[in-house]
Protein backbone atom coordinates (compact mmCIF):
# COMPACT_ATOMS: atom_id res chain seq x y z
CA UNK A 1 0.00 0.00 0.00
CA UNK A 2 1.27 3.46 -0.92
CA UNK A 3 0.69 5.85 1.98
CA UNK A 4 0.69 9.61 2.44
CA UNK A 5 -0.11 11.89 5.33
CA UNK A 6 -2.56 14.76 5.04
CA UNK A 7 -4.98 17.11 6.77
CA UNK A 8 -8.76 16.58 6.63
CA UNK A 9 -10.52 19.62 5.13
CA UNK A 10 -14.11 18.40 4.68
CA UNK A 11 -16.17 15.33 5.51
CA UNK A 12 -19.41 14.18 3.85
CA UNK A 13 -21.24 10.90 3.15
CA UNK A 14 -18.44 8.44 3.98
CA UNK A 15 -15.72 10.39 2.15
CA UNK A 16 -13.26 13.03 3.26
CA UNK A 17 -11.36 15.67 1.33
CA UNK A 18 -7.75 15.53 2.46
CA UNK A 19 -5.02 18.03 1.65
CA UNK A 20 -1.61 16.49 1.07
CA UNK A 21 1.70 18.21 0.41
CA UNK A 22 4.09 16.94 -2.24
CA UNK A 23 7.23 15.84 -0.44
CA UNK A 24 10.69 15.22 -1.76
CA UNK A 25 13.55 13.40 -0.12
CA UNK A 26 16.03 15.82 -1.70
CA UNK A 27 18.55 17.15 0.73
CA UNK A 28 18.85 13.71 2.28
CA UNK A 29 21.46 12.34 -0.09
CA UNK A 30 24.92 13.50 -1.14
CA UNK A 31 23.93 14.19 -4.77
CA UNK A 32 21.02 16.54 -4.01
CA UNK A 33 22.26 19.34 -6.33
CA UNK A 34 22.94 17.15 -9.35
CA UNK A 35 20.02 14.78 -9.78
CA UNK A 36 16.83 15.19 -11.79
CA UNK A 37 14.57 14.67 -8.80
CA UNK A 38 16.19 17.61 -7.03
CA UNK A 39 15.66 19.86 -10.04
CA UNK A 40 12.01 18.81 -10.35
CA UNK A 41 11.45 19.38 -6.62
CA UNK A 42 12.82 22.93 -6.93
CA UNK A 43 10.67 23.68 -9.98
CA UNK A 44 7.45 22.13 -8.67
CA UNK A 45 7.95 23.17 -5.06
CA UNK A 46 5.81 22.05 -2.15
CA UNK A 47 2.46 22.13 -3.90
CA UNK A 48 -0.59 20.97 -2.07
CA UNK A 49 -3.08 18.50 -3.51
CA UNK A 50 -6.66 17.93 -2.54
CA UNK A 51 -7.61 14.24 -2.53
CA UNK A 52 -11.01 12.58 -2.10
CA UNK A 53 -10.60 9.54 0.18
CA UNK A 54 -13.00 6.92 1.49
CA UNK A 55 -13.51 7.44 5.24
CA UNK A 56 -14.11 4.20 7.17
CA UNK A 57 -12.77 5.78 10.39
CA UNK A 58 -15.13 8.72 10.83
CA UNK A 59 -12.65 11.59 10.82
CA UNK A 60 -13.32 15.27 11.51
CA UNK A 61 -12.00 18.37 9.74
CA UNK A 62 -8.63 19.46 11.11
CA UNK A 63 -7.39 15.96 11.94
CA UNK A 64 -4.11 14.69 10.54
CA UNK A 65 -4.61 11.33 8.79
CA UNK A 66 -2.78 8.68 6.79
CA UNK A 67 -4.31 7.82 3.42
CA UNK A 68 -3.32 4.96 1.17
CA UNK A 69 -3.98 3.31 -2.16
CA UNK A 70 -3.13 -0.22 -3.26
CA UNK A 71 0.06 -0.52 -5.32
CA UNK A 72 -1.62 -2.62 -8.02
CA UNK A 73 -4.37 -0.07 -8.60
CA UNK A 74 -1.82 2.74 -8.65
CA UNK A 75 0.32 0.88 -11.19
CA UNK A 76 -2.64 0.02 -13.46
CA UNK A 77 -3.89 3.59 -13.36
CA UNK A 78 -0.44 5.00 -14.10
CA UNK A 79 0.08 2.65 -17.03
CA UNK A 80 -3.33 3.51 -18.45
CA UNK A 81 -2.69 7.23 -18.06
CA UNK A 82 0.85 7.45 -19.38
CA UNK A 83 1.63 4.41 -21.49
CA UNK A 84 -1.54 3.53 -23.40
CA UNK A 85 -2.16 6.86 -25.23
CA UNK A 86 1.52 7.06 -26.18
CA UNK A 87 1.56 3.46 -27.39
CA UNK A 88 -1.60 4.08 -29.47
CA UNK A 89 0.02 7.19 -30.96
CA UNK A 90 3.12 5.26 -32.05
CA UNK A 91 1.15 2.28 -33.36
CA UNK A 92 -1.17 4.58 -35.32
CA UNK A 93 1.83 6.32 -36.88
CA UNK A 94 3.44 3.00 -37.75
CA UNK A 95 0.21 1.72 -39.28
CA UNK A 96 -0.13 4.92 -41.33
CA UNK A 97 3.43 4.56 -42.58
CA UNK A 98 2.99 0.89 -43.51
CA UNK A 99 -0.25 1.62 -45.36
CA UNK A 100 1.38 4.53 -47.20
CA UNK A 101 4.29 2.30 -48.27
CA UNK A 102 1.91 -0.38 -49.57
CA UNK A 103 -0.04 2.21 -51.53
CA UNK A 104 3.14 3.78 -52.90
CA UNK A 105 2.65 7.13 -51.16
CA UNK A 106 6.06 8.68 -50.47
CA UNK A 107 4.84 11.49 -48.24
CA UNK A 108 4.66 11.69 -44.45
CA UNK A 109 1.05 12.77 -44.06
CA UNK A 110 -0.37 9.20 -43.77
CA UNK A 111 1.94 8.49 -40.83
CA UNK A 112 0.94 11.79 -39.22
CA UNK A 113 -2.76 11.10 -39.69
CA UNK A 114 -2.31 7.57 -38.35
CA UNK A 115 -0.51 8.91 -35.28
CA UNK A 116 -3.24 11.47 -34.64
CA UNK A 117 -5.95 8.84 -35.06
CA UNK A 118 -4.10 6.38 -32.79
CA UNK A 119 -3.52 9.04 -30.14
CA UNK A 120 -7.15 10.07 -30.32
CA UNK A 121 -8.29 6.47 -29.88
CA UNK A 122 -5.92 6.09 -26.93
CA UNK A 123 -7.35 9.16 -25.22
CA UNK A 124 -10.91 8.02 -26.01
CA UNK A 125 -10.18 4.66 -24.36
CA UNK A 126 -8.60 6.47 -21.38
CA UNK A 127 -11.72 8.58 -20.95
CA UNK A 128 -13.95 5.49 -20.96
CA UNK A 129 -11.57 3.71 -18.54
CA UNK A 130 -11.61 6.64 -16.12
CA UNK A 131 -15.41 6.80 -16.20
CA UNK A 132 -15.57 3.04 -15.55
CA UNK A 133 -13.24 3.13 -12.52
CA UNK A 134 -14.52 6.40 -11.05
CA UNK A 135 -16.64 4.56 -8.46
CA UNK A 136 -14.50 1.40 -8.22
CA UNK A 137 -13.33 1.20 -4.60
CA UNK A 138 -10.08 -0.53 -5.61
CA UNK A 139 -8.91 2.68 -7.32
CA UNK A 140 -9.91 5.06 -4.51
CA UNK A 141 -7.63 6.27 -1.72
CA UNK A 142 -8.79 5.24 1.74
CA UNK A 143 -8.12 6.77 5.14
CA UNK A 144 -5.96 4.28 7.02
CA UNK A 145 -5.98 6.01 10.36
CA UNK A 146 -5.73 9.21 12.35
CA UNK A 147 -2.16 10.24 13.11
CA UNK A 148 -1.37 10.38 16.81
CA UNK A 149 -4.33 8.27 18.02
CA UNK A 150 -5.17 4.62 18.33
CA UNK A 151 -7.68 4.80 15.46
CA UNK A 152 -6.25 2.67 12.66
CA UNK A 153 -7.85 0.57 9.93
CA UNK A 154 -4.69 -0.85 8.35
CA UNK A 155 -5.22 -4.25 9.95
CA UNK A 156 -8.80 -4.43 8.61
CA UNK A 157 -7.64 -3.48 5.11
CA UNK A 158 -4.76 -5.97 5.03
CA UNK A 159 -6.85 -8.83 6.45
CA UNK A 160 -9.74 -8.47 4.02
CA UNK A 161 -7.67 -7.45 1.01
CA UNK A 162 -10.15 -4.69 0.20
CA UNK A 163 -11.18 -1.35 1.54
CA UNK A 164 -13.57 -1.30 4.48
CA UNK A 165 -17.00 0.11 3.78
CA UNK A 166 -17.71 3.59 5.06
CA UNK A 167 -20.27 4.24 7.74
**DSSP secondary structure string for all residues of 35-92:** SHHHHHHHHH-S-EEEEEEE-SS---TT-EEEEEE-HHHHHHHHIIIIIHHHHHHHHH
pLDDT tier, 37 (very low <50, low <70, confident <90, very high otherwise): low
> What pLDDT shows up at residue 163?
47
Residue 145 included in any domain: yes
Q: What local confidence, expressed as pLDDT, does residue 125 receive? A: 94
Instruction: Confirm if 141 and 51 have CB atoms less than 8 A apart.
Output: yes
Residue at 87 is within a domain: yes
Q: What is the mean pLDDT of the segment spanning 33-49?
A: 65
Residue 31 inside a domain? The answer is no
Secondary structure class of 144 (helix, strand, coil): strand
Q: How confident is the model at residue 157 (pLDDT cuts 50, 70, 90)?
A: very low
* CA 62 – CA 123 distance, rounded (Å): 38
| pLDDT value of position 105 | 86
Which of residues 48 and 89 earns the better pLDDT score? Answer: 89
Mean pLDDT computed over every residue of the chain: 81
Give the number of domains in the chain: 1
- pTM for the model stands at 0.61
Any domain includes 37: no
pLDDT, one tens digit per residue, over 90-137 is 999 999 999 999 998 888 899 999 999 999 999 999 999 999 888 788
Residue 83 lies in a domain: yes
Q: What is the pLDDT of residue 119?
A: 95
Helix (H, G, I), strand (E, B) or coil at 34: coil
pLDDT score recorded for residue 159? 38
Give the structural domain span for 124. 2-23+43-160
CA distance 122 to 116: 10
DSSP character at residue 26:
T
pLDDT (0 to 100) of residue 29: 62
- Region 3-22 average pLDDT: 88
Amino acid sequence: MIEEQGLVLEVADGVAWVETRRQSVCGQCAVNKGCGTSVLAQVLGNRRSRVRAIDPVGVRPGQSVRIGIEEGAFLRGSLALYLLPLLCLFLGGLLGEVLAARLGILQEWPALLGALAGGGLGFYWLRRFSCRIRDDRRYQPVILGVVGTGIDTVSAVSRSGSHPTPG
